[in-house]
Amino acid sequence: GTPTEEQMAYVSMKNHGNAMLNPIAQSPMKISLDDVLFSRIICHPFKMLDCCLYSEASAALILASEDKVKELGVEKPIWITGVGAANTDCFIGNREEIGRLYSNIYAAKAAYKMAGLDYNNIKSQIDLAELHDAFSGHYLS
């Protein structure tokens, strides 16, 4: 189901607290559950402290064939075994459950299936996951 506002607030508290460990984080601060729950509503159920101020980031992958990896002498290549992409309604107000980002779930299920992983037992099959958490509810999706 949809994450509760309190569950989302705990994610926000964790994220802002973790930001205090990073000297270049955009909003490091110690906040309480009430600070989040009573911050200004942006778009229900998201409150000001559930949302990142801005989000600029990038990532890069160098994709190469197995032959190229051997030619370059890459010692520990990381093989991509599954990918997934999905989109739901772009306007947040049209979404069935605003606090949940179903496109993340659909894309993950497609990637897991391609990789031969069991969605219902995924935690025991993945060593590392990087979550997009610009909005606290999306972290819980």
Higher pLDDT: 94 or 46? It is 46
> Residue 110 is part of which domain span?
5-139
pLDDT tops 70 at residue 105: yes
Burial of 99 from C-beta contacts in 10 A (0-12 / 13-18 / 19+): buried
Q: Whole-number mean pLDDT of the chain?
A: 88
Total structural domains within the chain: 1
Over the stretch 51-82, which tens digit does the pLDDT of each residue have? 988 877 778 888 999 999 999 999 999 999 99
DSSP state of 39: S
Where is mean pLDDT largest: 39-43, 100-104, 129-133? 39-43
76: which residues sit within 8 A by CB, 6+ positions away?
Answer: none
Q: What's the whole-model pTM score?
A: 0.67
Predicted local distance difference test score (pLDDT) of residue 98? 63
Over the stretch 26-53, which tens digit does the pLDDT of each residue have? 889 999 999 999 999 998 888 999 998 8
110: CATH:
3.40.47.10
> What is the C-alpha to C-alpha distance for residues 26 and 52, in angstroms, rounded to an integer?
9
pLDDT tops 70 at residue 92: no
Amino acid at 73: G
